[in-house]
Structure 1
Amino acid sequence: MISSEGVIGKEKIAYFSMEIGLTNDIHTYSGGLGVLAGDTIKASADLNLPLVAVTLVSKKGHFRQELDAQGRQTEHPEGWDPFRYMMPLSTEVTVKIENRDVKIKTWLYNYQSMIGVTIPILFLDTDVEGNAPQDREITHHLYARDEQYRLKQEIILGIGGLRMLDALGYKVRKYHMNEGHSSLLTLELLHKYEMDVEKVREMCIFTTHTPVEAGHDKFSHSLVEQLMDENTDMEALKRFGGSDRLNMTLLALNLSRYVNGVTKRHREVSAKLFPGYHIHSITNGVHSYNWTSTPFRKLYDQYLPGWAKDPELLVRIDGIPDEEIWQAHRESKKNLIDYVNRKTGAGMDYETLTIGFARRATEYKRTNLLFSDLARLKKINKKGKIQLVFAGKAHPKDMKGKKLIEEVFGYINELKNEIKIAYLENYDMDIASKMVSGVDIWLNTPQRPFEASGTSGMKAAHNGVVNFSVLDGWWIEGWIEGVNGWSIGPEPEEILSVEESKTRELDDLYSKLEYIIIPMYYKRKDEWTKMMNSSIGTIAYYFNSHSMMRRYVTEAYL
């Protein structure tokens, strides 16, 4: 453990992320970006990489979701106490916001891997005695309030985070920005190195996760001038971050030597969004041990010793008898179904083909696509029973996303005498673990090309669950039709209108469910277990955070 007076001799990779999901009880994540950051840290510890992470403490979390009988979402604060999990450090740095000195302290959380390697994580906190009341709240909420609040947070993360690393004595050789929220650190580096642009670029790595223009943070120059230090070099900000508005993604792109998207497809989309930039791709991965259920952990420990440290060993899954894979799945499924019934009273059973869908409830992820043709869905259900488990939060300001949840609740009521459907409240890491290991099919229906990566299907594959997904994000790279899962709709290179794509997708979705998936599950169990085996052996062995981090080391960090 480092103290606030300690000096780190070994040069570090400083990993900046607005959100980091480490455990279910530390509410510093809202979804995929934060969970990926947590998996990145866990894999780095397993691989003994010299990483230090920087984030915000977000004491009041994102929000706890409450759903009423009609599926109407209400948001509640989801506070947590840092004292229970981490150590406060005495070191203090300051930044200027609205011409006030804002003090920043930090909490130190030491994540320790199963091999005993520790990764320090700094949770920045402005709830410091002497700060103005409005400044003490800057690090309270994750992604809350308005544009002004967001920019204040990004000043704390990027500028304050770099100053905290310096104050604690860390020697940093590379700064890895996980999304654009922390890109003001590049401005601080320019000041630190007397505007040596090439030196700053050499030190910076930028990973973009957002495939749509509207998803990138932008701030008016008037707001920047209002909030930031009066000595801020606005000329430099306009030069590197945009002449009309401060674009945080553009700032990171212009001042990073290495830039990557999170899948091959996302690299192509990003290159079109930001022409003229050389964008690489490193496909996301998940932390294998963390996302594997207890029954499968025991199975892998028995037959593939060392798999947790070296997930590539999962390619040898053929050495595990199919009946034992099936039994491990049955145990995981029982755990999920018992939880669903306890929480919702849905009355689900262990034998019925169970389909899972858990994503942020937003329009492009199309939570309700499966219900597009209820007559056909009912017909399919008569060929072989299905039951459906949904979960996911809508952003507090996403009215369309909230409406999607209400629509699913409407279908739950409409179909209650034919298909058992449950929507689990307050989706979090614990519920995700139960779902990705307990369903039989993992369904994913994003509107192309808006899925940058997606990782839930990778988690499902670690537990022998079979993917059934639109060809977007990571699934383009992992999919082998009829071997480890099934596609929905046109292939990536096919250029179709939105309506044409949807027509193809619905035909595929219903046809494959009726004529391939249901008959195989109920009548050809040996073929089904072979699919489960292939899901592990062709997906889990490769789409994991160990493989991902090895690529970051060789392509970006060295």
Structure 2
Amino acid sequence: MRAIRRFTVRTLLPAPLAELEELAHDLRWSWHPPTRAVLADVDPVAWSRVGGDPAALLDALDPERVAAAAADPALVARVRAAAADLRAYRTGPRWYQRQGGAALPAAVAWFPPGPDDAPRAAAAAPGPHGLEALADDHVRAASDLGVPLVAVGLVDDQRRPTAHGTRDLGPGAPPSPTEDGGAAPLLREPDGTPVVVQVATPGSALRARVRVARAGRVPLLLLDPVEPGTPTAGGRATAGPAAERSAAVRRLERALLRGVGGLQAVRAHARLTGAPQPEVVHAGGAHAGFVGLERVRELVAAGATYDAALELVRATSVLAVQVPGPATVLDGALVAEHLAALDPAGDLPTTDVLALGARAGGEADAPVDTAVLALRLADRASGDSRRHGRTCREAYADLWPGFDPQEVPIGSVTAGVHAPTWVAPEVTDLGARRMSARDLATGAGWDVGGPVDDADLWELRRRLRARLDDLLPGGADGPRPSAPGTVPAEPLTVGVVHRPSSGGAPLDLLLDDPDRLAALLLDAARPVRLVVAAGPGGVPAALGALADRPDLDGRLVVLTDASSDLLRALHAGCDVWLDTPVDPSGASTASGMRAALNGVLTLAVRDGWWDEWYDGEDGWALPRPAPEDGDEGTAQRAAVLHDVLAEQVVTCFHERDGDGLPRRWLAAVRRTLVTLAPKVQATRMVADHVAHLYAPAAAAGAALAADDLAGAVALAGWRSRVRSAWPGVAVADVEVTGAGTPPRVGDVLHVRASVTLGGLLPDDVAVQVVHGPVGPDDEITDLHVAALVQAAPAADAPDAVDAPDADAGTGGVGRTEGGRYAYVGEVGLTRAGPFGWTVRVVPRHDALTSVAATGLVATAG
């Protein structure tokens, strides 16, 4: 018989142990071993029974054990010390507080991409997929550094985070009858009423309660869609497929709930807690553009003009850019309908908003690309590696016609992973005499592997491999005993996460020749073991067939539902990490970085972080596929992978000296720990965001917002004036002298350009000569830019005129009878080969973040 209501009966914590509540409900425990140790020692039996989940532990404590723990002075002292340490961690000054004070934002809102936006990251997420998984590397590192972040996410009702990990409700499963469901506590008004955010749609309102989890210093605001039938029931963006709603409607409404509802949650949290409202918003995914639109709507509703509001929102928005694709495109009419419901006061001009999301053309019924919308609402956009940034610039180049792809305003901050979460204790101990806990948390002073001798380093790797051995099941379908002698004492262990949802199936190359793979795994002289952690999407048939072979039992292990402990052991205990996406996008994957922190070598396609940090001594790089590659190209790259694995990786690992040590392998392990591990840390990533994105965005926002948005109003007026005048801007004439016949390296070109400004002033523009090597079609392939300066004509020049009506500054000096202005400059010829140049005029303003920011350019010819 099914209960109509349920609740959890808990053991009352006595006063000496009351601080366990504080320790258990701050997700810092998930990356702080001392806290986990204290919690485990309160009731070891219950801790084991709940799988190391502190919130579940509080529900499962045995009263007699609690009484005994409360009477143990040593344990009580440890609980109190851990709680004091947590409070000091939350409130004391850290890296951020020592960086420069007022120049940095008082708060930053972080709207990370959802699982649908970043399938690569989602597939590699640690399990169990509970609240601790929502505190991603960015959040954890921000907490360690003291960055005042507030993070926003969505509690997906089909995989609801609870105190016991997750409960897979399934598409038609009944809702939980409990109010809190064991999840994070609700944000409440002063009278105790739960805060409910509401997003209007054409059909019904999307409503969600706001849960607040803590990840150290960072609050996590989790939108929990209201269940049907509750007092605040309404439409839900995350319900299973409904007959009356298309996939596009559900996708749009999910993005609206994340973006608009998420911003409402941020506002409510600041209002109720006294936390500062964020000065900078960092967002990624389909909802990023809707966060920006809601911020614009707020400003307009408060009295700002639409154009001024747009300037301020752009200046203070940071975008985690994504490559556009079919999933980012929505019907324009559908978006217009939802905008009308969302903005009944008409604060957002629908035509202008739709144009922000139009890929090209600007027709009234043009599709809206949410990725384009987000890009046009953020002055600062960033890929998660240099190659990813380059890929995105190329993908969006058509939005900036007349500019080279390298000038598209998208940069990059290479991703990182949270070292305290992923570094094995043995690795930390290796550097314990030289590296404090704070060093590990902040990424400063990382010193692992350098002075340690090879014997100790090899013993470390063997201990990590042994821990993995202890946790691994016997085969692909669960624990199966291996025949004696099946698993050699010291096989080369290759780890890989199978992520079929992104970049193609990464195991395709390895499985292209299953017989060769089986032979590699069965080599008795040079044993190899392959451990695959299968993400969403299941196990490929070819892999399953191999895993079912009795002779490969123990040599091929497939993990279909790995625990967080097992995933950590895999990232630390394998010897080499494999990452071979079939269709790499340049995006960074976290798994290889997690492994590298523990001295695991990398064997990967040159993509993402590995493309920029591989140095030839810390692993092996595989070639990227060419766009024209077909089946033949895939087969060739598969052969290369097998060759490198068999001839280089396996050989290097099993090569021993007289002391039984693999010296070449250990040199690469040391190189990984000493030079690569500091780079892949999330603290470095977040610090880069602060320096290059958050701080400049906050400064720009402060300048535009001062004196009732005076700066934003002025910038909007300037932009409008420049856009109106731009049809009259042109490069009228160019003269070049100074090149020899033929031109030689070392020659200097003297460039003089005559331009018309269409009523604009010289202060409004920059005139530049663009030059570099050219290809067969005369396209400049490696762009260089040199500024031209305005030339004042001789006083007796017959065509020189004064401009008494010109503004101060350069005014009309240098303008000729035809309204033209002369600009001059030089270009040195520094290398041989085909060379080309042109002259262009672009808008110039101190508030612009890029030469292409306005999208306007006038080019000679």
TM-based fold match above 0.5: yes
1:359 to 498, 501, 524: 498
Q: Is 1:44–2:139 an aligned residue pair?
A: no
Q: Is 1:185–2:291 an aligned residue pair?
A: yes
Matched to 2:679, the amino acid is Y
Aligned match of 2:151: 53
C-alpha contact 2:205 2:235 (8 A) present in aligned 1: no
Post-superposition offset of 1:254:
0.3
User: What CA distance in whole angstroms lies between the structure 2 residues aligned with 1:322 and 1:303?
Assistant: 18
1:440-473: CA deviations, max 9, x gaps?
A: 1111111243341112111111111110111111
Larger Rg: 2
1:333 to 461, 465, 483: 465
Post-superposition offset of 1:435:
1.5
C-alpha contact 2:106 2:279 (8 A) present in aligned 1: yes
User: What CA distance in whole angstroms lies between the structure 2 residues aligned with 1:267 and 1:457?
Assistant: 19
Question: Which has the higher relative contact order, 1 or 2, with Cα contacts under 8 A spaced 6 or more apart?
Answer: 1
Aligned match of 2:814: none
Aligned match of 1:528: 665
Secondary structure of the residue aligned to 1:533 is helix
1:484 to 585, 595, 618: 618
Q: Is 1:13–2:108 an aligned residue pair?
A: yes
Distance 1:408 1:495, change over 3 A: closer
Post-superposition offset of 1:489:
2.9
C-alpha contact 1:470 1:505 (8 A) present in aligned 2: no
Superposed, which structure 2 residues align to 1:384-533 within 5 Å?
Answer: 384-395=526-537, 402=538, 405-414=540-549, 416-417=551-552, 420-427=555-562, 429-481=564-616, 483-489=617-623, 497-499=629-631, 501-524=633-656, 525-533=662-670
Identity of aligned residues (%): 22
Which sits farther off after the overlay, 259-268 or 377-386?
Answer: 377-386
Secondary structure of the residue aligned to 2:607 is coil
1:222 to 318, 333, 345: 333
2:202 to 95, 98, 109: 98
C-alpha contact 1:489 1:504 (8 A) present in aligned 2: no
Post-superposition offset of 1:225:
4.2
Distance 1:147 1:349, change over 3 A: farther
Distance 1:227 1:344, change over 3 A: farther
User: What CA distance in whole angstroms lies between the structure 1 residues aligned with 2:113 and 2:160?
Assistant: 12
Post-superposition offset of 1:414:
4.5
Secondary structure of the residue aligned to 1:552 is helix
C-alpha contact 2:526 2:650 (8 A) present in aligned 1: yes
Aligned match of 2:800: none
Superposed, which structure 2 residues align to 1:360-379 within 5 Å?
Answer: 360-362=499-501, 364-379=504-519
Q: Is 1:240–2:356 an aligned residue pair?
A: yes
Which sits farther off after the overlay, 537-546 or 314-323?
Answer: 314-323
2:375 to 237, 241, 253: 253
Post-superposition offset of 1:179:
2.6
How many residue pairs get matched?
Answer: 516
Which sits farther off after the overlay, 216-225 or 262-271?
Answer: 216-225
User: What CA distance in whole angstroms lies between the structure 1 residues aligned with 2:510 and 2:160?
Assistant: 29
Aligned match of 2:277: 171
User: Structure 1 stretches of 5 or more lacking a match?
Assistant: 2-8, 64-73, 113-117, 396-401
Which sits farther off after the overlay, 454-463 or 499-508?
Answer: 499-508
Aligned match of 1:285: 416
Post-superposition offset of 1:166:
1.9
User: What CA distance in whole angstroms lies between the structure 2 residues aligned with 1:23 and 1:316?
Assistant: 24
Aligned match of 2:690: 553
Distance 1:283 1:415, change over 3 A: farther
User: What CA distance in whole angstroms lies between the structure 2 residues aligned with 1:185 and 1:269?
Assistant: 24
C-alpha contact 1:448 1:472 (8 A) present in aligned 2: no
1:303-324: CA deviations, max 9, x gaps?
A: 4224312334335531223333
1:228-278: CA deviations, max 9, x gaps?
A: 552544323312112522211111100101001111111111011101231
C-alpha contact 1:96 1:229 (8 A) present in aligned 2: no
Distance 1:504 1:377, change over 3 A: same
Which sits farther off after the overlay, 189-198 or 47-56?
Answer: 189-198
Secondary structure of the residue aligned to 1:324 is helix
User: What CA distance in whole angstroms lies between the structure 2 residues aligned with 1:325 and 1:229?
Assistant: 63
Aligned match of 1:4: none
1:206 to 284, 298, 319: 319
Secondary structure of the residue aligned to 2:415 is coil
Secondary structure of the residue aligned to 1:283 is coil
Distance 1:469 1:137, change over 3 A: closer
C-alpha contact 1:357 1:442 (8 A) present in aligned 2: yes
Matched to 2:332, the amino acid is H
TM-score normalised over the length of structure 1: 0.83
Post-superposition offset of 1:341:
2.5
C-alpha contact 2:109 2:149 (8 A) present in aligned 1: yes
User: What CA distance in whole angstroms lies between the structure 2 residues aligned with 1:463 and 1:548?
Assistant: 18
Aligned match of 1:124: 223
Post-superposition offset of 1:538:
1.9
C-alpha contact 2:319 2:375 (8 A) present in aligned 1: yes
Post-superposition offset of 1:516:
1.9
C-alpha contact 1:179 1:207 (8 A) present in aligned 2: yes
Superposed, which structure 2 residues align to 1:343-358 within 5 Å?
Answer: 343-345=478-480, 347=482, 348-358=487-497
User: Structure 2 stretches of 5 or more lacking a match?
Assistant: 1-21, 23-101, 116-121, 162-167, 189-194, 301-305, 401-407, 657-661, 696-861
User: What CA distance in whole angstroms lies between the structure 1 residues aligned with 2:518 and 2:540?
Assistant: 20
Aligned match of 1:67: none
User: What CA distance in whole angstroms lies between the structure 2 residues aligned with 1:166 and 1:138?
Assistant: 26
1:399-427: CA deviations, max 9, x gaps?
A: xxx5x622210122347358821110125
C-alpha contact 1:283 1:453 (8 A) present in aligned 2: yes
Distance 1:89 1:274, change over 3 A: same
User: What CA distance in whole angstroms lies between the structure 1 residues aligned with 2:445 and 2:480?
Assistant: 40
Aligned match of 1:265: 387
Distance 1:161 1:109, change over 3 A: same
C-alpha contact 1:57 1:139 (8 A) present in aligned 2: no
User: What CA distance in whole angstroms lies between the structure 2 residues aligned with 1:409 and 1:200?
Assistant: 50
